[in-house]
Amino acid sequence: MERQVAAINRTPAEEGMPCPDVPTYAGDDLGARPDAEGTAFRVWAPTAAGVTLRLFAAGSPAEAGGAEPAETHELVPSEGGTWLVRCEGVGHGVYYDYVVRFPDGTVNRTADPWARAAGVNGRRSMVVDLRRTDPDGWGHDRRPCVPANELVIWETHIGDFSNDPHSGVPAEHRGRYLAFTHADTTVDGEGEFPTCVNYLHRLGVTAVQLMPFYDYGSIDESLPADDPARGFNWGYDPLNYNVPEGSYSTDPFHGEVRIRECKRMIQSLHAAGVKVIMDVVYNHMFSADNWFERMVPGYALRRRADGTLADGSGCGNDVATERAMMRRYIVESVAYWAREYHVDGFRFDLMGLIDVDTMNAVRAALDELPDGASILMHGEPWSARSTALDPAADVVLADKRGLPYLDPCIGAFCDSTRDAVRGHVFYQKVPGYLSGAADDFAVDIRHAEDAWRGTPHETAGVGQVIQYVSAHDDLTLWDKLCATMRGMPSDADYAADGPACDDLMAANRLAAGIVFSAAGVPFLLGGEEFARTKRGDADSYSSPASLNRLDWRRARRLRSLAGHYASLIRLRRGNPAWFGGPRTVVPRNDAVVVFLVGGDCVAVNPTDEARMQLTVELETPEPYGELERIDPGAWTCVYCSAGAGAGNGQVGKGSDEARVRGRALVLPPHSFTVWRRTRR
């Protein structure tokens, strides 16, 4: 019945070509699988006329002895459209690729789509004995146990995290996996202000979401890190899905090094009590000319009815996730990262291009793993453009229309909250609640605080709602505030330098207060908590590393703002009701937002003047319909973002301005306050 409903409501799309009629393979041994005597190589190439395996001593032609194959072997046809060969005496550290021949005379050289290791720049695959890549103590590594109500997600890029020369990380590890293995770093190594993992511990975040760290295609790994020709990229251009990115390793030329160092990164974050969420991009690839299409032309990517490539990703190609072997690949790939690398969660880029059946199959596969139910899944419930689908296939994509068909343990980013708080994402100067349009958006903020429950925006359970105001895409929160509140921001505005920026700082504090007090899962872009700027660059995916990296001296200078975020995290983690408890919104006819949750009263005053909240309006129903009478004096301000001491991270200390006056709570201008009552 559910699938019939889904079919009726299938995702609108351009008319696409049907799936090629080819056999599928059900075995679990695709790729190169070594044992004590040799290695079995199996590939799925159902339309090929022949497949040749080439073995090399090095991972690229430029390396010594790497130009010509040391051996070649012909694969033989096997079940389910696969080809197979076993090579005795071939094992860990041998590099390989395939030459695939087709009946029309086409010949394609390709790496192995199912490879788990690769040489420099990922053009050749590598046979790997994964047990030889485990760091010391890997067998004892465990996922941190973080209750849902304590989950706080902080997003970063592996390079951004430590590229700053003032990060305190040794130069040879900056921008690399091993930066995460240094637990006690400080700004310039002076021992005064924490950076990197040390900083995460101080801030209190419980999960780090890492932008893509599978092997991607836009960086030349063979060049030194300081070579301008090497470039910078976020990594949303997959090349080898099951291989870690080589540019983050200390030695990209030897395929096992990146694997071991990636595991050490995850192990170190786990030791700090921090979950690791991997940003994955299964909706498109680096190029339409990829290993899948070279191995099985016409299968992996969606095509319009006229044969042209669909482009719902805005990146030139869309993966046909609804096709059996691509679905299977995605499911096995995610499960592989969870099982082999102990990854704690997955964020799906442009999830709106992935069909709901594939997403649900991924969830089911993760649930089958030991402790698999604790593995997180969430994604972007949208696409860049319309894709192309076979009308006869009844495909439902995991966009906002498809969210009701997803497993309830799959979350989605809430752009409704983001745009209400800061203003429209695509129109940089259009304000939101905190940047000039408080009266227009007050009702939306009240809904956002309750995860939009009971509104047309409610498409998922509260645990599925990722609440945020900034991520790697689009303007940072600080830059958006500069754009809306300044129009033409100055250098001083971007620098958050001096009292002239006090209004921007107050808005940033309020934005954080709204997100962290809202029902759902709070998420922030790394550095948002110290007014991170990219100087108005809304799409810095390939901008210089110097623009993208976290500025740890800025974090030290703006420590009071970071302290505000740390206080909010402590408040949230200290009151489980903040995660999913119902909000009782106090009716008001102004821009101030006041609500009750878990015994707390939370108030957001974005205006230029102090406002009052009558305590009689905070009395709550008791059994049999009576009202619980609360002595006005029983309310105490336990946190205030405004006034003296704001942002010093002291939960339990309010402000002299936030106090009880008669039968009312005084809400200072531009303040986020939390009030708690004591029973007498």
Distance, in Å, from the CA atom of 422 to the CA atom of 419, rounded to the nearest integer, reads 5
Distance, in Å, from the CA atom of 101 to the CA atom of 107, rounded to the nearest integer, reads 5
Nearest to 671 by CA among 636, 647, 652: 647
Question: What per-residue confidence (pLDDT) applies to 629?
Answer: 62
155 a catalytic residue: no
The residues near 680 (Cβ < 8 Å, ≥ 6 apart) are 631, 634
Classify residue 501 by its DSSP letter: G
Distance, in Å, from the CA atom of 329 to the CA atom of 447, rounded to the nearest integer, reads 39
- Do the Cβ atoms of 544 and 232 come closer than 8 Å? yes
Nearest to 241 by CA among 177, 144, 153, 328: 328
Pairing of strands 593-597, 600-605: antiparallel
**Residue range 31-132 in CATH 3.40.50.800:** no
pTM strictly above 0.85: yes
Distance, in Å, from the CA atom of 119 to the CA atom of 59, rounded to the nearest integer, reads 4
* Domain ranges, ordered by start, for the chain: 31-132, 148-579, 586-677
pLDDT in tens, 301-327: 999 999 999 999 999 999 999 999 999
Which residue of the set 380, 444, 479, 493 is catalytic? Answer: 380
Residues of the chain with pLDDT under 70: 1-10, 621-630, 632, 643-656, 679-680
Nearest to 276 by CA among 286, 285, 267: 267
Q: Angle, to 10 degrees, between the axis of helix 324-340 and the axis of helix 356-367?
A: 30
One fold for 31-132 and 148-579: no
The hierarchical CATH code for the domain 148-579 is 3.20.20.80
Residue that the structure tokens 């009782």 belong to: 584
188 a catalytic residue: no
Task: Give me the numbers of helices (H) and strands (E) for the chain, helices first please.
Answer: 16, 29
What topology is assigned to 586-677 in CATH? Immunoglobulin-like (2.60.40)
Question: What per-residue confidence (pLDDT) applies to 31?
Answer: 98
Which residue of the set 112, 349, 415, 479 is catalytic? Answer: 349
Distance, in Å, from the CA atom of 637 to the CA atom of 602, rounded to the nearest integer, reads 10
- Do the Cβ atoms of 434 and 481 come closer than 8 Å? yes
- Do the Cβ atoms of 84 and 116 come closer than 8 Å? no
Query: For residue 135, with 0-12 CB atoms within 10 Å meaning exposed, 13-18 middle and 19 or more buried, which class applies?
Result: middle
For 200, the token pair is 């995460």
Q: Rounded to a whole number, what is the distance in angstroms from the first to the last CA of the chain?
A: 55
- Do the Cβ atoms of 604 and 445 come closer than 8 Å? yes
Cα–Cα distances (Å) from 651 to 300, 519, 568, in that order, read 53, 20, 8
Question: What per-residue confidence (pLDDT) applies to 1?
Answer: 34
